[in-house]
Amino acid sequence: MQGPPLACHTPLEQLLHRGLQHPDPRRPALISRRGVIGWQELDNRSAHLAGHYLRLGLQRGDRVASLLPNRLAVMLHLLACLRAGLVATPLNYRYTPAELDYALELSGARLLLFHAERLADVAASAQAAALPLGTLIYGAESAGLVGGRGCGGEPLVVEGLSRPPRCFEDLLLPSPAGLPPEVAGAGLADPTEHHDDDPAILYFTSGSTARPKGVTHSRRSLAAVLSSTAQGLGFTPDDNYLAGTSMAHIGGSTSALAALLAGSTVVLARSSDSEEIRWLLEQTNPTVLKLLPAALFALVRDPAIRPADFASLRLCVSGGDHIPSELQTEFRAVAGFPVNELYGMSEVGMVILNPPGQALRPGSLGRPGPGVAMDLRRPDGSSCAPGEAGDLWIRTDGCMSGYWNNPEATAAVLVDGWLASGDVMQADADGYLWFDGRRKQIIVHDSSNICPQDVEDVLLEHPAVAGAGVVGIHDLVHGEDVRAYICLRGPVADRQALERELIGFARDRIGYKAPEQIVVLDDLPLNATGKVDRLALKRLADNQTAPRSGATPMDQVAPTDLAST
């Protein structure tokens, strides 16, 4: 299967240069609820920041880690790293000190930029304290740590850090006051020599099946991802793109960068909270909206949402997790059009989509994106026939260089220019793809393969169920049984009766795939990308025993049982 050809193969430096030279430099480039940055300001500030980074002692190829929520500063930082030849290393904002230590050590980062509200966790990180170039703090003034504008060049004394952090805001000034002369000198960084094979950005996987790996994209692969995304979603200078997903993940940051470098205005949501998204819909008139499925559910179920809030949109896209039919129904009811589902991976970016303006096939992820080739393979390596499920292999110029300092893991998934996705899919005769599950998460019950997502989707159709996560548990007779962890929309009078009802509800719809056991939790654990963390649920299940045939008490698991996950 082959997607449409990529319209252009533009080096990253040219994408950056063209993208930042907007025909109307006074038009907003970036918008948030707290501020606006115009195109000329974005160009100037990111160039000055790139120069200041280099004068801090960073060199081409150095990793610069960031622990930031969605703020306008994130985009300035990413652009500055790309312009200076540094390797942007965004970290999940929910990382604990231990997770932060792991990511900093694996990446070999030389500098960490972090938000002030994470100060205590950064101070508790042994790796952060030992970074060669220390740390930069963002938001120190709003957190009440300093007065006036920035730090005035004065470092902050923080217990636990070997050297005091400097204020990020100081580096946004052309000639930051109070900084050493070698840092304070203004200048641009674009003349820095770049090579297509140089690393550009390092993303950490969500760790849903193993410890997080550092996915490394070169300047060439990142340029291909950005070009394919912009072409696939049809970004133009007429678009306002409302980015409602985390900039720490490839889907969030590359979509925003692709839109920006295509001349679109990027509206950056500070969170995916329905009140925040609703306000931005009303005030900024976006033409394209991107949210994770869970956030879309919350948005369409917000009592204050109105059909008029969606009037400016030409497209709503979602990915990162499967979109249940219930969400499509609810979204269409309020917005008047369906959600376009996307599929991507940290290793390749967005590679499957439903092209805007084309009819959707219910339940399908879409077709291969621009510049993307795909093959569904049987275990013997031969290609599957239409309608036959097989392992998804991907070939694209947007493929990662490899996993950072992990050649064994790289060799396991990159074979002759093809990437083994680990996902199982099937395709119809027209090349539309349907997700069939992750190979490592397939449940084998009585020699039949069961995709956890199939069970989760059915349970989510029940009015009492707010969330669902399904795992397999070992059974001597059947190989694995299906256990569903759920959270409810509200209290129920008879949990045992509801449990029996849910099992019957699922059995009527998916037969042998229905769960044998159901356990209720107050909240489901989420992984780094906001999906239900089946790995955490699997660990929980492995530490529990439960009788078969639906006899599990729904209140068997206390919320504290998830504390270790």
Does the predicted model carry a pTM greater than 0.75?
yes
Rounded Cα distance between 187 and 539, Å, is: 52
Question: What letter would DSSP give residue 59?
Answer: -
Nearest to 295 by CA among 279, 312, 275, 281: 275
What pLDDT score was predicted for residue 146? 65
Give yes or no for a contact between 83 and 190, defined as CB atoms under 8 angstroms apart: yes
Which CATH number is 12-177+194-422 given? 3.40.50.12780
Nearest to 172 by CA among 28, 71, 25: 71
Rounded Cα distance between 401 and 216, Å, is: 6
Give yes or no for a contact between 274 and 294, defined as CB atoms under 8 angstroms apart: no
Give yes or no for a contact between 343 and 350, defined as CB atoms under 8 angstroms apart: yes
- Sheet with 199-204, strands from edge to edge, namely 166-167, 135-138, 111-115, 63-67, 87-90, 199-204, 214-218, 402-403
End-to-end distance of the chain based on CA atoms, in angstroms?
39
Looking from the CA of 234 toward its CB, the CA atoms found within 13 Å total: 15
Rounded Cα distance between 118 and 93, Å, is: 9
Give yes or no for a contact between 488 and 480, defined as CB atoms under 8 angstroms apart: no
- Provide the residue-wise pLDDT of the chain in tens; the chain has 565 residues: 999 999 888 999 999 999 999 888 878 999 999 899 999 999 999 999 999 999 999 999 999 999 999 999 999 999 999 999 999 999 989 888 888 999 999 999 999 999 999 999 999 999 999 999 999 999 987 777 765 444 665 667 767 677 789 899 989 877 655 455 555 444 554 446 789 999 999 999 875 455 789 999 999 999 999 999 999 999 999 999 999 999 999 999 999 999 999 999 999 999 999 999 999 999 999 999 999 888 898 899 999 999 999 999 999 999 877 788 888 999 999 999 999 999 999 999 999 998 888 888 888 999 999 999 999 999 999 999 999 999 999 999 999 999 999 999 999 999 999 999 988 899 999 999 998 866 667 787 765 668 788 899 999 999 999 999 999 998 766 668 899 999 999 999 888 899 999 999 999 888 878 999 999 999 999 876 678 888 889 889 888 754 433 333 222 222 222 222 2
Handedness of CA 284, 295, 252, 356 (dihedral sign): negative
Alpha carbon separation from 437 to 109, 292, 294, 443, 456 (Å, rounded): 34, 18, 19, 10, 12
Alpha carbon separation from 380 to 116, 291, 410 (Å, rounded): 52, 38, 21
Q: Are strands 63-67 and 111-115 parallel, antiparallel or unpaired?
A: parallel
What pLDDT score was predicted for residue 187? 53
Rounded Cα distance between 439 and 220, Å, is: 30
Return the structure tokens found at 189: 């960084």
Phi and psi at 15, nearest 5°, equal: -60, -45
The whole-angstrom distance between residue 446's C-alpha and the CA centroid of its chain comes to 35
Q: Are strands 28-32 and 265-268 parallel, antiparallel or unpaired?
A: parallel
Kindly state the helix (H) or strand (E) to which residue 448 belongs, with its residue range: strand 448-450
What pLDDT score was predicted for residue 179? 52
| SS3 readout for 12-40 | HHHHHHHHHCCCCCCCEEEEECCEEEEHH
- Packing angle of the helix pair 12-20, 72-84 (nearest 10 deg): 130
Single-letter amino acid, residue 503 = I
Q: Are strands 402-403 and 414-415 parallel, antiparallel or unpaired?
A: unpaired
- Packing angle of the helix pair 495-510, 452-460 (nearest 10 deg): 120
Nearest to 288 by CA among 230, 349, 346, 215: 230
The whole-angstrom distance between residue 68's C-alpha and the CA centroid of its chain comes to 14
What pLDDT score was predicted for residue 497? 92
Rounded Cα distance between 445 and 441, Å, is: 12
Rounded Cα distance between 244 and 273, Å, is: 9
Give yes or no for a contact between 77 and 375, defined as CB atoms under 8 angstroms apart: no
Domain boundaries, the chain: 12-177+194-422, 442-562
Rounded Cα distance between 140 and 116, Å, is: 5
CATH tag for 442-562 (out of 3.50.50.60, 3.30.499.10, 3.30.300.30, 3.30.365.10): 3.30.300.30
Alpha carbon separation from 36 to 139, 207, 252, 260 (Å, rounded): 17, 35, 19, 14
For every residue of 335-404, DSSP letters joined together read HSSPPEEEEEETTTEEEEE--TTSPP-TT--BEE-TTEEEEEE-TTSPBPPTT--EEEEEEETT--SEET
